[in-house]
Amino acid sequence: SNELRVVDHTVYSALPSFEVATGKYNAMPLSKQAAILHGARDILIRSSIATDIAIDIKHTHFPIPDEHILVEVQREDSRESIMKPMLQDINKNVTPFAFHFHNGRWAPYEFVTNCPVADARLDVVSSKPWFLQELKEWFQSHDALDIFGFHVLHRDHIGGELGGTIETPGAAEDELLIRPCSSFDDHDSEQESQQVMWMWKDLPVPRPPMPLPRPMPPSGGTIFPS
């Protein structure tokens, strides 16, 4: 679906805050958390898309100006990414990678510049409209469509998201620094953190739904609140 590439700069501002989104998730019984994530995992695996997609909790990072979108710039030499607001410009070579259900469709709200991996994996997702519909219905049935969405895996330059990434405040108030978990020392790891991303790239073959509850694997994205 080419709809996935249609840019609407109002999507980001419609997201819940980090506190609201994680607060709703953390208030759920563990059995409901497990049911939501396991069901989403099964949809990814049945759609043969688990190597391309992660499931995550959607939230704002900081306010961004009108007519701007949040864009990730990858720094391969330092194995990190910087995310910051940029003026929406159709001439920019940006690829959407983060999607929230907004105004009746899966709409992008985070983008990455000059990333062929993101482009290729987004094409895979676009070719599977049944995946988009089934995932929407699954989250909706658990009253979780407002906080859950999907993320196109694209951070191969830092070893991929599977090893875990950390988001911390960047050099400016409206910047986010994204690094692999392996770059953090013991002192860093003592900070309060919250997992907000889950992926299952190690399960390439379809399998029936697993009994619940079952612990989630530790891989995923983690946020250190500012």
pLDDT at residue 38, as a whole number: 95
Pick out the chain residues at pLDDT < 70: 1, 90-92, 160-163, 182-192, 201-226
In sequence order, what are the residues at sequence separation of 6 or more whose Cβ sits closer than 8 angstroms to the Cβ of residue 209?
38, 39, 42
Say what the pTM is.
Answer: 0.84
pLDDT at residue 104, as a whole number: 95
The 10s digit of each residue's pLDDT in 46-71 is 999 998 999 999 999 899 998 899 99
Interatomic CA distance for residues 131 and 154, integer angstroms: 19
pLDDT at residue 167, as a whole number: 84
